[in-house]
């Protein structure tokens, strides 16, 4: 099997980003984004998705976190799309329910080749430690637009906003892990009646 790795650089007037990903990793992670709460959530993707992930970003944080969070989503999406390759032999679909104390989230993903995001997370607070939680929608929108996946995210229960968000990212990592796994019964076959994804 070919290595499913990618390295993507994205440079704009607002952010300079390097993302490295290994879809067949062990959950190793290194982050330097200047946004600690985002780093904490990226770590959930790596650890629960069993992907190795390295993200370095220099962004215009003197304005706010918006460009950094959105552009990391974009660049991670580009790296993921490159690393996953032609998708032959993968499971394609993944889903996960993840609890954390009172919070429960469900994430369902389809590596469909079509970008789509439906996200329903009724945050109980507008920020966590100064981080604007609305920015996570920008992160996931950037990711799906550039990875070409369909993603459904639902926080089913939760009172603590930190817990709500953490369950989303843990479930995202778990769903991603299942979707990218190789299915020996589908070896060499594209999991679509169209023959392409």
Alpha-carbon separation of residue 107 from 37, 138, 175 (angstroms): 20, 16, 6
**Please, how many CA atoms are within 13 Å of residue 150, restricted to the half-sphere of its CB?**
7
Per-residue model confidence as pLDDT tens digits over 114-151: 999 999 999 999 999 999 999 999 999 999 999 999 99
pLDDT at 127: 97
What's the rounded Cα separation, in Å, for the pair 137 and 154?
A: 12
Which conformational region is residue 85 in: left (phi greater than 0), alpha (psi within -120 to 50 degrees), or beta? left
- DSSP class of residue 43 equals H
- DSSP-assigned letter for residue 2: -
- CA nearest to 109, candidates 45, 30, 186: 45
pLDDT of 71: 98
Residues in the chain, pLDDT under 70: 1
Cβ count near 14 (within 10 Å): 14
Q: Are strands 127-128 and 131-132 parallel, antiparallel or unpaired?
A: antiparallel
What is the number of other CB atoms lying within 10 angstroms of the CB of residue 38?
23
Q: Tell me the pLDDT tens digit for each residue of 176-193.
A: 999 999 999 988 888 888
CB atoms within 10 A of CB 118: 11
Query: Which positions ≥6 away from 59 have C-beta within 8 Å?
Result: 14, 15, 16, 17, 33, 34, 65, 67, 68, 71
> For 110, phi and psi rounded to 5 degrees?
-130, 120
- Cα(38)–Cα(140) distance, rounded to whole angstroms? 12
**Looking at residue 1, what is its pLDDT?**
67
How far is it, in rounded angstroms, from Cα 197 to Cα 140? Answer: 20
> What's residue 156's pLDDT?
98
Beta carbons of 27 and 47 less than 8 angstroms apart: yes
């Amino acid at each position: 099997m070919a290595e499913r790795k990618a390295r993507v650089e994205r440079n704009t007037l607002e952010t300079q980003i390097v993302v490295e990903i290994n879809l067949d990793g062990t959950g190793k992670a290194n982050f330097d984004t200047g946004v600690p709460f985002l780093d904490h959530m990226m770590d959930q993707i790596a650890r629960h998705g069993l992907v190795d992930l390295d993200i370095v970003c220099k962004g215009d944080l003197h304005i706010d976190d918006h460009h950094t969070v959105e552009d990391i989503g974009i660049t991670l999406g580009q790296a993921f799309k490159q690393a996953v390759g032609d998708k032959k032999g993968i499971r394609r679909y993944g889903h996960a329910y993840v609890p954390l104390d009172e919070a429960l989230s469900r994430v369902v993903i389809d590596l469909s080749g079509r970008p789509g995001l439906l996200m329903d997370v009724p945050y109980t607070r507008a920020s966590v430690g100064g981080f604007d939680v609305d920015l996570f929608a920008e992160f996931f929108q950037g990711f799906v637009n550039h990875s070409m996946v369909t993603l459904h995210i639902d926080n089913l229960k939760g009172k603590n906003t930190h817990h709500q968000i953490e369950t989303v990212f843990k479930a995202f990592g778990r769903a991603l892990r299942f979707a990218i796994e190789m299915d020996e019964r589908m070896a060499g076959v594209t999991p679509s009646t169209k023959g392409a994804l």
